Amino acid sequence: MVDASWWLGAVIYQIYPRSFLDSDGDGVGDLPGIIERLDYVAGLGVDAVWIAPFFKSPMADFGYDIADYRAVDPLFGTLDDFDRLLRRARALGLKVMIDQVLSHTSIAHDWFRASRESRTNPKADWYVWADPREDGGPPNNWLSIFGGPAWQWEPRRQQYYLHNFLAAQPDLNFHNPEVRAAVLDAVRFWLDRGVDGLRLDAINFCFHDRLLRDNPVKPADRRIGRGFSADNPYAYQYHLYNNTQPENLAFLEELRALLDRYPGVAALGEISSEDSLATIAEYTRGRRLHMGYSFELLTDDFSAAYIRDTVSRLDAQMQDGWPCWAISNHDVERVLSRWGRGRPSAPLANLLTAMVCSLRGPACVYQGEELGLTEADVPFEALQDPYGIAFWPQFKGRDGCRTPMPWTTVTHAGFTTGVPWLPVPKEHLELAVSRQESDAASALCGFRTFMHWRRQHPALRTGAIRFLDTPEPILAFIREDPGEIVLAAFNLSEKTATVTLPGLGVARALRGHGLREGALVDGHLCLPGYGAAFVSLDKAGHPASTAHPNARHTGATP
């Protein structure tokens, strides 16, 4: 029997293949390296792995520029290696999700090589082409996330092509039904191989405005970055026409119809739009995506109010879909550097993991989060990320969160016998897996303890959520399913904090979660610095008078 709902409340461990483990000494991680460490991943207590792109690519954007959707790049191994990975993951009880980058390809893809040759070839309309303005400039004011105009001149056709990311990543023309069919056929290839899920990169970028209308200018006081540098000119516009077009909804339904032929397969969409929360709600409605996530918790904003308001605003808009939460990934500064206030620690690392994995919906954790890794300071001469190179020194790019996993304290952290593609910072050697495994107070041991404890509490996986109106720095909410009610409270400060929670009824503290434990006495909850409390409530344990006004209670129990 296939567990079709495995993804509900799942913890998904993101693997960035280049930086996980190198098996052949070329300095770049690979699929055999992942296989070698799958026992470690399974031992963390997570439910699934999401593997970032390993497809054939010239690596202009490190795999997010795909030259062949059906081939494994030799840098990472072979199709046989991927099949071995699937078999090993299944034996360990892990689901496998892979990245699918559908909105664009590499300029090295055969489709683009044909399309660029002329305006009359069979694939001439497979990409977004447009004539220049009368003065020879780009057809409109659209900008690339990586800086500058989103249009690149092609002399063969005497036209511009659209690229929402690098110029080496031309956008496919999803208005063309042949393109949609070809993309779905590429997805089918991996479904037939047995993957359990898809992480859909930039899924709201598939369609563009047919009329190529200019994006409106955004006022200076609203130019806030979400997943990109705030000083990037991309923040100067409301991106109403270069992504998130209404035609995309029908394509998502077409994609979902394909996925539904493969029982147990789930789709997670990455969404970055002008109102990402509203787009997630729309994209997960009905027979579209199973779940969606955005960059809302991948910012510098760190407070109980911000987290509560963000999560509750999305929950209020959701109908039958599910959010997926993440506080770190391969595109943003590591959370312990963003939210650590300059004082990262194992207790904070464990608190943040427990917090995000206690919210309603699946959660993604990024490799190294379980170790409490901080952002690496990669010198300019060692940078690989074209984004960072272009915006240096105001923005150093994404290399700082992509440095190799520290497995041991030996040279290059046991990641490779060669020269690593990015340097391993000395401070990460102190946090190596080999060192933390024997330390009961380490972030790694705390991560494992919490994940295994979490599995014993179904309310934390699939229950409804209702936030409590608690003062800073305490974040508190109730998770409830038909068989269990749990109050979760987190102290986001390193100092002791106390909050009064009247009307709790009969309550019992839940032990064994591995965090610094708070104490509940006569309705007063005292939490140590970076401490937490999980409290089991009876049916009377509904402090309705403290419900946050922007939150709603969802689920079977009123």
Over the stretch 198-249, which tens digit does the pLDDT of each residue have? 999 999 999 999 999 999 999 988 887 655 555 789 999 999 999 999 999 9
If asked whether residues 279 and 414 sit together in one domain, one would say: yes
Helix, strand, coil % in the chain, rounded to nearest 5 = 30, 20, 55
3-state secondary structure of 32: helix
What DSSP string describes 221-255? GG---SSS-TTSGGGGB--SSSS--THHHHHHHHH
Q: How many CB atoms are closer than 10 A to CB 442? A: 21
- Looking at the structure, do residues 525 and 499 belong to the same domain, yes or no? yes
The enclosing domain of 431 has a CATH number of 3.20.20.80
Q: What is the pLDDT of residue 555?
A: 31
Is residue 546 predicted with pLDDT exceeding 50?
A: no
507-509/516-517 β-pairing: unpaired
Q: CATH number, domain at 479?
A: 2.60.40.1180
Segment 438-476, tens digit of pLDDT: 999 999 999 999 999 999 999 999 999 999 999 999 999
Cα dist from 401 to 16, 109, 350, whole Å: 10, 28, 18
Q: Please check whether residues 291 and 242 belong to one and the same domain.
A: yes
Cα torsion through 467, 541, 528, 470, rounded to 10: 30
Is 434 in the same domain as 334? yes
Rounded to two decimals, the pTM is 0.95
Q: What is the four-CA torsion angle of 130, 135, 137, 141, rounded to 10 degrees?
A: -90
- Where on the phi/psi map is residue 36: left (φ > 0), alpha (ψ -120 to 50), or beta? alpha
From residue 58, give the alpha-carbon distance in Å to each of 61, 67, 75, 110, 383: 8, 7, 10, 13, 17
CA neighbor of 55 nearest in space, from 101, 120, 4, 117: 101
- Give me the phi and psi of 61, to 5 degrees please: -120, 35
Q: What percent of the chain has pLDDT over 70?
A: 95
Does the residue 372 lie in any domain?
A: yes
The residue out of 454, 482, 507 marking a domain boundary is 454
For residues 389 and 492, membership in a common domain is answered with no
Q: Residue 161 pLDDT more than 60?
A: yes
Domain-ending residue, one of 427, 454, 481: 454
| Candidate from 123-132, 173-182, 218-227 with smallest mean pLDDT | 218-227
Using the predicted structure, report yes or no on whether residue 506 has a pLDDT greater than 80: no
Q: Do 434 and 481 belong together in one domain? A: no
Q: List Cα–Cα distances, 299 to 222, 277, 335, 339, 351, in angstroms.
A: 15, 14, 9, 9, 17
- Structural domain includes residue 59: yes
- Integer Cα distance of 85 and 37 in angstroms: 10
Mean of pLDDT over the chain: 93
User: What is the C-alpha to C-alpha distance for residues 324 and 299, in angstroms, rounded to an integer?
Assistant: 16
Give the 3-state secondary structure of residue 532. strand
For residues 263 and 364, membership in a common domain is answered with yes
Q: Are residues 388 and 495 in the same domain?
A: no
Helix, strand or coil, per DSSP, at residue 167: coil
Tokens 């403290």 -> residue: 546
Domain co-membership, 346 together with 219 = yes
- Asked if residue 395 has pLDDT above 50, the reply is yes
User: Does residue 538 form part of some domain?
Assistant: yes
Q: C-alpha 537: how far from its chain's center? A: 32
Six-digit token pair at 28?
Answer: 């770049």
In a domain, 137, yes or no: no
Question: For residue 371, is it within any domain?
Answer: yes
Closest CA to 399 of 408, 411, 391, 407: 391
Whether the pLDDT of residue 96 is over 90: the answer is: yes
- Nearest Cα neighbor of 341 from 142, 132, 539, 493 is 493
How deeply is 307 buried, as exposed, middle or buried, from its count of CB atoms within 10 A (0-12, 13-18, 19+)? buried
Asked whether the bond before 246 is cis by omega within 30 degrees of 0, the reply is no
What pLDDT digit, counting tens, does each position of 246-302 carry?
A: 999 999 999 999 999 999 999 999 999 999 999 999 999 999 999 999 899 999 999
Q: Is residue 515 part of a domain?
A: yes
Domain that holds residue 432: 11-105+176-454
**Is the confidence at residue 125, as pLDDT, over 90?**
yes
Is there a single domain that holds both residue 492 and residue 534? yes
Same domain, 77 and 215: yes
The residues, ordered by sequence, that sit 6+ positions from 194 with a Cβ below 8 Å of its Cβ are: 86
CA–CA separation, 382 vs 432, rounded Å?
Answer: 22
Number of domains in the chain: 2
CA 312 – CA 317 distance, rounded (Å): 9
Q: pLDDT band at 319, cuts 50/70/90?
A: confident
At residue 556, does pLDDT exceed 50? Answer: no
Backbone angles phi, psi at 81, to 5 degrees: -60, -40
- Residue 548 in this model has a pLDDT that exceeds 50: no
SS3 162: strand
Domain termination site, one of 454, 474, 509: 454
Q: What is the amino acid identity at position 414?
A: G
Mean pLDDT across the stretch 124-137? 98
Amino acid of residue 142? W
- The answer to whether the CB of 508 falls within 8 A of the CB of 326 is no
Active site residue ranges: 201, 270
Q: Quick check: 42 and 90 in contact, CB under 8 A?
A: no
Give burial (CB, 10 Å; 0-12/13-18/19+) of 531: buried
pLDDT value at 522 more than 80: no
- Does residue 553 lie within any of the structural domains? no
With tokens 């994940």, the residue in question is 451
Residue 22 to residue 143: CA distance in whole angstroms? 36
Domain co-membership, 421 together with 499: no
Residue 418 CA to residue 431 CA, distance in Å, equals: 21
Kindly state whether residue 119 falls inside one of the protein's structural domains: no
Could you give the 3-state DSSP secondary structure of residue 539?
coil
Contacts of residue 94, defined as CB under 8 A and 6 or more positions apart, other chains included, come to 38, 41, 42, 46, 47, 48, 49
Confidence (pLDDT) at 228 = 53
